[in-house]
């Protein structure tokens, strides 16, 4: 009999996180999707995916993360997707903004991985972690220094953790999306988005479902670990 698999997706009520929760559910996972704020996104997500367990949890709150993961029967796949954007010239970034971005984008990944690993090691059957970084974590983005730094930290953390956990049969990988149709890009005008698309070799922005499929792949392959998979339409080669 095939073993039931359990997955946790953070930032699971919209965009990449929602698409990932939906795909994992369709692939037979029992999915828990965490989110930070009540609102229309959470309500819509619950209605669209009634079989997914949506739970509110702030990934920067260690007690909340610990309670969330300890409440799961087991954990086979962790997807660290929760994140925030920041768009400003460096001279205009306050220390509090820098720390906010790092705390969510890098600190949240650390806390979720820390407690997920405890759960996986306790069960003793290995597991998989997929962190969501960004093309800007690889190349740097103009006027996105805080965001780029936080996503670069996710990449370095992924590689270090992969080495640490390989003997325990826990894989750790990372997807680095390019420009994707999500609310994170809602601040751009249609003209700005068209200009972005002109710089992408395949000629279009990506869709959340395309990132979700990459996450499923990385979470399913036991001989792939420590890798950064760019899903960016050729924007970074």
Domain residues for the domain of 43 are: 6-231
pLDDT digit string (tens) for 50-69?
999 999 999 999 999 999 99
Residue 236 falls inside a structural domain: no
pLDDT beyond 80 at 1: no
Mean pLDDT across the stretch 28-53?
A: 96
Residue 68 falls inside a structural domain: yes
Question: What CATH number does residue 91 fall under?
Answer: 3.40.50.720
**H helices present in 35-134, as ranges:** 40-48, 62-70, 95-102, 108-123
Residue 98 falls inside a structural domain: yes
Quote the CA–CA distance of 6 and 4 in Å, as a whole number: 7
Quote the CA–CA distance of 57 and 115 in Å, as a whole number: 14
Catalytic residue set: 147
Quote the CA–CA distance of 68 and 187 in Å, as a whole number: 32
Residue 95 falls inside a structural domain: yes
Domain count, the chain: 1
pLDDT digit string (tens) for 106-147?
999 999 999 999 999 999 999 999 999 999 999 999 999 999
Q: SS3 of 172, please?
A: strand
Distance of alpha carbon 186 from the chain centroid: 19
């Amino acid at each position: 009999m095939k073993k039931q698999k359990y997955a946790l997706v953070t930032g699971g009520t919209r965009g990449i996180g929602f698409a990932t929760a939906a795909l994992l559910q369709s692939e037979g996972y029992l999915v828990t999707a965490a989110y930070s704020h009540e609102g229309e996104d959470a309500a819509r997500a619950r209605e669209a995916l009634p079989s997914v367990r949506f739970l509110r949890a702030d990934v920067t709150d260690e007690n909340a993360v610990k309670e969330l993961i300890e409440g799961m029967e087991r954990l086979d796949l962790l997807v660290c997707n929760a994140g925030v954007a920041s768009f400003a010239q460096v001279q205009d970034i306050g220390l509090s903004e820098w720390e906010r971005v790092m705390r969510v984008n890098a600190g949240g990944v650390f806390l979720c991985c820390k407690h997920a690993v405890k759960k996986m090691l306790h069960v003793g059957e290995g597991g998989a972690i997929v962190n969501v970084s960004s093309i800007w974590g690889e190349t740097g983005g103009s006027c996105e220094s805080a965001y780029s730094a936080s996503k670069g930290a996710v990449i370095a953390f992924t590689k270090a953790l992969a080495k640490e956990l390989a003997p325990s049969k826990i894989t750790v990988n990372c997807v680095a999306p390019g420009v994707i149709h999500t609310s994170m890009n809602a601040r751009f005008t249609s003209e700005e988005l068209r200009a972005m698309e002109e710089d992408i070799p395949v000629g279009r922005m990506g869709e959340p479902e395309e990132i979700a499929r990459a996450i499923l792949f990385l979470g399913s392959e036991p001989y792939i670990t420590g890798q950064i998979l760019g899903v960016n339409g050729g924007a970074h080669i």
